[in-house]
Amino acid sequence: MGGFLPPAERRSSALLGLYAALSLLLLLVGDRLPQSALRGAGAWVFAPFDRVVLSLDRAASAWRDNRQLHQRIAELEIETERLRLAGVENQQLREQLALPAWRGYALKPVEVLALVGEPVPAAATLSGGTRQGLHEGDAVVTRDGLLGRIGECYASLSRVVLLTDLNSAVACEVESTGVLGVLRFSSAPRPRLVLTDVPLTDTVRTGQSIVTSGLSRRYPRGLPVGRVRRVARDPSGLMQDIEVDPAARLSRIRHAFVISHPVAPEDAP
């Protein structure tokens, strides 16, 4: 019968028979085979292929990351140039209006040694004090935004009153509209930051940025504070109840910067 089958079908029948014989053999003697040795041999045989595949995957990932980084660098360079030109224009306009020149910040790095308060931290201990040039009332920030101010200062340690302290009050404004308010912490009905003293006639929308207004002696103007999360009426019905998400993650801070005193740009380190 086999002589009447085409060559391709004869080869297929032979392979099928071979596979069936191997399957039967494995069923009969599979338990007695040295599986650990076979796995070791298989790993030794396929190890070079695994290394090649892994190297190719890493190379492809590095190429994608490199392309994204180059794109990001180009975007940042364009944004930096735009901000530089805007700064020059702003300086010229301030000179024409006889306004005082913008003054930069002298940032002093510190480490956050401890957080105090449950369930929301209300104070922090910093690894710097009067020996490092820190003073009571200095603003404390991270790269994301404002943390609070130094309430007590010792020789080599200081205590920060965070935004989440019940006695904390920060004069703020809505960055895009200039609407003024005071940021306070409220523990009821749940812990949250609230922008208070904002009349119903002022327009505030969800997602807008909140920054320091500079109307307080403790905080320079323009420090990021957070974003508007929710807008409603307060219980009195006369003011707005504006809930704010903090820009800085107050429960996950290890390093911070202290703004000791404003300095002129030419005097900044």
Domain contains 215:
yes
Distant-in-sequence, close-in-space partners of 238: CB < 8 Å, separation ≥ 6: 199, 200
The total number of structural domains that make up the chain: 2
Q: Are residues 139 and 226 in the same domain?
A: yes
Q: The CATH number of the domain where 139 resides is what?
A: 2.40.10.340
Which range has the worst mean pLDDT, 10-14, 71-75, 214-218, 250-254? 10-14
Q: Are residues 130 and 231 in the same domain?
A: yes
Please check the confidence at residue 268 and state whether its pLDDT lies above 60.
no
Domain contains 2:
no
Residue where a domain stops, chosen among 48, 72, 102: 102
244 contacts 175 by C-beta, under 8 angstroms:
no
* pLDDT on residue 170: 94
Residue where a domain stops, chosen among 66, 84, 102: 102
Please check the confidence at residue 265 and state whether its pLDDT lies above 70.
no
Q: Residue 58 is part of which domain span?
A: 9-102
Domain contains 17:
yes
Q: Are residues 116 and 52 in the same domain?
A: no
Instruction: Give the burial class of 175: count Cβ atoms within 10 A of its Cβ; 0-12 exposed, 13-18 middle, 19 or more buried.
Output: middle
Domain contains 68:
yes
Domain contains 58:
yes
* pLDDT on residue 99: 76
Q: Which residues pair with 211 in a beta bridge?
A: 173, 224
Give the C-alpha separation, 36 to 212, whole Å.
Answer: 67
42 contacts 50 by C-beta, under 8 angstroms:
no
Maximum C-alpha span of the chain: 108
Q: What is the mean pLDDT of the chain?
A: 83
Please check the confidence at residue 181 and state whether its pLDDT lies above 50.
yes
